[in-house]
Amino acid sequence: MSQTDADILASLTRYAPFDMVPAAALEALGPSLTRIVAETGQTLSYEGERLEALLVIESGSVEIETDGSGPVALRGPGDVIGERGLLRLGRATLTARVAEDAVLIRLPKERFYDLIDDVPSFAAWFQRASPARPADSGADAAGLTALKVSDLMTRTPVTCPVGAEVRDVARLMRAKGISSVILMEGETPAGIVTVRDLANKVLAEGLDGTTPVARVMTSDLITIAPDALGLDALMRLADHNISHLPVAEGGRIVGLIGRTDLFRQQAATASHMIADIVDAGSAAEMARVVAQVPSLLAQLVSAGAGASAITRRITDITDAITRRLLVLAEAELGPPPVPYLWLACGSQGRREQTGQSDQDNCLILDDAFEPGQDAYFLALAAFVSDGLHACGFVYCPGDMMATNPRWRQPRRVWRDYFAGWIAQPDNQAQMLASVMFDLRPIHGDTALFRDLQAETLAMARRNSIFVAHMVSNSLKHTPPLGLLRGFALIRSGEHKDTVDLKHSGVVPVVDLGRVYALRGELQAVNTRERLEAAREAGVISKAGAHDLIDAYDFIAETRLRHQAAQIRAGARPDNFMPPAQLSELERNHLRDAFMVIKTMQSSAGQGRGVMG
């Protein structure tokens, strides 16, 4: 270590939490640390700026500011700058500006994350420093203190007979793309060998490939139980300076968990994923981020986050992808010839996406639009729609996309659409109106939609025939209730003996929410928010709203738990659940939830003033 490195380290270890870091880990940090001299008035980071390092103040002072409100804090020697941003979106949460000439130590973000990953006391210090978050805020609820090892582990660890040679294990690692193998003696685990073992105990010692792997394996296996917490696993790995832990239950190896699994979980949060999407340069890069969404869903379910929080976070990711694709499209095509607004409808519009979603979108163009300009907007729509499809949000089967010229029109045409559907509410008009009442602006000139939404709600509410059609439409999806408190199961086909939690459970409430929003001219788009707004506006009784919200939450959470279980089992998530997989108590709750929906549908169908 150079004298400069040693000097910086000596200064750094005067401050918490660096005084908690083991000497070996500190020594490894040395070459990555640098000093920065900053003059009064110099800005170290702007709010929202991508952070590349953690800063530790050696001397001088730094003001922390928020846009428009001036300084909110003054930090001096020993204080750190950027920790909250690095642990959240990867971007500065506030602006940091030098108040008095300062000297700072710069720790690259990669080394900061290494310390968080490898030194539990260091990680715990920053967790204590972070402000508390409501349990149901949902953004990053699935921390290592909430998730079990069983939620994070690899369930099919690769094994090899203990009598194998080193080269056999090396070839197996290469073929499987893994860094550790569990060695078995019959049905009993005998040890573990890792890439680190091959480097330190084989190559470094000059041994050849015919060396028995038993000679270099770690035979005194340290294991962990599947119901232990992720944080327990992290601490055990750090305490024993190892990179992998076999997961054992009843003397049998049921999985494997490593530092990479834990670090991946820390990174696989909605906040980190959105930060990566904002920096992505192509749909292919975004697709790699979206591949983590099923894991995020399963982790949030395991952490106990509410259904609304989970679907909101998943939709936030889709919104970020859509906005980034629009920015990339404009960079390729040039500025738009007239202002436009990209809107989402369907589950994305309502912020209710789960592990299985297609795309539904449209474009509202400024009334200055001329037909000759449509080539630009067709190319824009195709770029975004193709990008969403590449990310797993498949093309809408009903062609409800901005690539369809019908859904890519000037504002005046959209006003005519809504007026026509309301004046002549036939079946197709009802279907289109139902979808379009869920519109939500994503990117562009929001003024193109703001008044249009209010005008349409007022126009629709005044047309009693249209309202009656909307009510009738809301009764088409019925809860799957059979005789004698049983379920009406799907009788044949691929999904035999299941209930469809989407079309028979969630969709009926979504449809009722639209009716309530129409009757009360409520501009909320999210279903749960519509129910709450309808209760406050007196559109439905407080008791009816309470029961319906509880029923909706229970069905939505049951659906997400079903999808999370499928994801953990390596299956594609769907909405078809066999009631037999629930406990008797859960089945009773599910039947009660369906009964509430049926009661509220009956109330809506009878046209009561204050329903429920």
In the chain (612 residues long), the average pLDDT of successive 10-residue segments reads 78 85 82 92 89 93 71 78 80 87 93 82 64 36 62 84 93 84 89 86 88 91 85 72 84 83 59 77 92 86 81 89 94 96 94 86 96 97 96 91 96 93 81 82 90 85 87 89 82 94 95 92 91 93 92 95 91 93 90 93 74 54
Residue whose C-alpha is closest to residue 409's, from 442, 449, 438, 443: 449
Confidence at residue 141, expressed as pLDDT on a 0 to 100 scale = 38
Structure token pair of residue 67: 């846009």
CA torsion angle 285 291 293 295 (round to 10): -140
DSSP 8-state secondary structure symbol assigned to residue 396: P
Strand partners for 194 = 180
- What phi-psi label fits residue 481: left (phi over 0), alpha (psi between -120 and 50 degrees) or beta? beta
Q: Quick one: tokens of 215?
A: 């000679």
Count of alpha carbons within 13 angstroms of residue 244, beta-carbon side: 21
Strand 180-185 and strand 188-194: the pairing is antiparallel
Residues 229 and 145 sit within 8 Å (Cβ to Cβ): yes
For residue 479, the SS3 value is coil
The tokens describing 386, both together, are 């193709």
pLDDT at 238: 67
Q: Which two tokens stand for residue 373?
A: 């300009």
The strand pairing partners of 343, in sequence order, are: 362, 441
Q: What whole-number distance in Å separates Cα of residue 462 and Cα of residue 425?
A: 13
159 touches 181 (CB < 8 A): yes
- Count the Cβ atoms, other than its own, within 10 Å of residue 565: 15
Q: What is the pLDDT, as a whole number, of residue 270?
A: 67
Q: Residue type for 21, please?
A: V
**How many beta carbons lie within 10 A of that of residue 156, not counting itself?**
10
Q: Output phi, psi for 537, to 5 deg.
A: -85, -5
Tokens coding 201 = 């105990």
Question: What is the model's pTM?
Answer: 0.63
Integer CA distances (angstroms), 245 to 102, 120, 338, 368, in order: 44, 16, 58, 64
Q: What pLDDT, on the 0 to 100 scale, is given for residue 137?
A: 37
Q: What is the pLDDT of residue 239?
A: 64
Residue 1: other Cβ atoms inside 10 A? 12
